[in-house]
Structure 1
Amino acid sequence: MKEVQEILALAIPQPAMSDQLQLVEQDQVSVPDCLDFTLQRFSYEAALPVEDVAMVVYQPAKRGHAAAIELRYCVAGNKYCKNPGCTDQLCVEGKKGECNEKAPSVDLITVRFQPSFIQSLQKGSTTVSFLEMQSRKPFVKTIQPCTKSKSVLETMVHHNYEGMLKNIFLQSKALELLLFSSDQFIQNDTDERYGCRFLTQMEDREKIEKARAILLEQLDSPVTIRDLARRVAMNECYLKKGFKAMYGTTIYDYFQKERMEKAKGLLYEKGMSVSEVAMLMGYSCISHFSTAFKKHTGLKPCELLLR
């Protein structure tokens, strides 16, 4: 799912590490005429450098429809019990970090407010607020979830309500999240997370995501930055700056890293020869491939095959 990959790319700067995540729990709740709530919980074995991230996704009003707002969160560091039938009192009381059957997790939580609900909140208001973001273009704003927001998220994913009471509970907590996000959005509006103001526009972020997809599709055929910029219809300077801001590395370094990771899989898992892999990766000279491979992995291709 595109939304999941987008926020994971922010929370886990090293793309290859997100492959270690295992989906262990999923929950979807639709509160009529109000909101849609989604929870995806991932577990992982090895320690991951995960950063808590929040995103405000805004779609402007159009064709008689009110503006739509979506809040996305990636929260890591919580410990959840592996046993769904656990009766450990610490776990029951919410002290999951001390539960005897705990496991690390990454929670992806999405709250999408329905346009009609947002419109109802705006009725009677005489001032311009966060909910009225006078923008005609869709955009994404990335913020750090505050302590209050993380506390609310914790209760949203760990409660005992069912049926109508669950809907009421989620609605009340979602409004708290909207309130806290509003405070942060206004306070941090001039302090862009990436240092690239143009990245708040969804269409520009999508162009950079498209550039990344092109690189991954052509690991065996290097593409120049000029050609890449032309294919995604973006200025070269913006593309280079935006790519590094979103993925934490240059276009070339990202391409080489993913290229060598693919080569590593072909050598180690598929059992292909060094010359075969070098040719598949677009190298006309085996020594050049070997040098690039060692720079990335610390081993020569032949040394990997001996392991």
Structure 2
Amino acid sequence: MYQLEGVEFARLMKREFSTSFETTYATGSIPNRFDCYAQGLKADDFSILRFGARFEDGLRINNMQDATHVSIHFQLHGCSDALISGFDATSTMNRGQFNLLNCVNPVSSFVFPKQKRYEYVCVGLKPAFFNEILLSCGEAYDNLLQQSRGARPFALFPDNKKISHLQSSGLSLLTEPPVADSLRNAYIKNKITELTLLTLSGQYETRIPTAVNTADVEKLHSVKDHLDIHYLDSMSLRSLSRDFLLNEFKLKAGFKKLFGTTVFGYVQGLRMNHALTLMRSGGITVGEAAVITGYLSDASFIRAFKQYHGYSPGTQK
């Protein structure tokens, strides 16, 4: 396994800066070992990091140092192990999982197995911002607030949880905000607050064992990945079942269990968010947006758009 020190890895990443909200882009590679990219956004109260890579060999990064922050980690593809100072055990993140960690002056070591696609989004919260959110949650979250104020490392969940459909939608809106540039910073801050509350809300839920066969979980994630790209294409449950070697019952029940929505409910959300992007970009009519997103009439498109977004497509928000 190839090894790098944290400072070596940081020097390897070539960074570029944009002019909006301190956005950074970075890429790094070692031939026949790995290539990766990082897209980051920093504000006063939070940061967002999207990291992706292809590992042609296993990689270990030692002694990566960071400032105190609350990390909400969403593993989109691939897997990795992390040993973070202040935590007794190694944290393993697998595809489709998330957790919230309070990291106090962390020094971390990461292990990335050989894999073709690795990707995560990490939302980092400044402690003061996180504490403000906890204060708004009431007495049920006093224990977490005390741990945070006392600068004590903790994980919100002893075992990682599955990313929900609502969290997935929130992450999509964070990376592509459907608002004017003048509203972008305020919109992102409010979305991060919403995403944090969705994450915290799972603390007191009863943990129900999944009924999805382990062998089918990877297939269902592949279905979701396919829909993320091909959501504008014509499709049916029968064709998806055939293409991904799942019977229709397993496809319908398993998708709902894993992602909290039906297959076509998920497609509907992707199409409506795409329609919103189209309408905000200008130069396109309601009728054209209806055709692009698969509606046979303007009226049915307008009705679906209003039901999903809460206002008509001709209304500027």
**Taking structure 1 as the reference length, what is the TM-score of the superposition?**
0.42
**Between Structure 1 and Structure 2, whose CA radius of gyration is higher?**
1
State the structure with bigger RCO (CA 8 A, min sep 6), 1 or 2.
Answer: 1
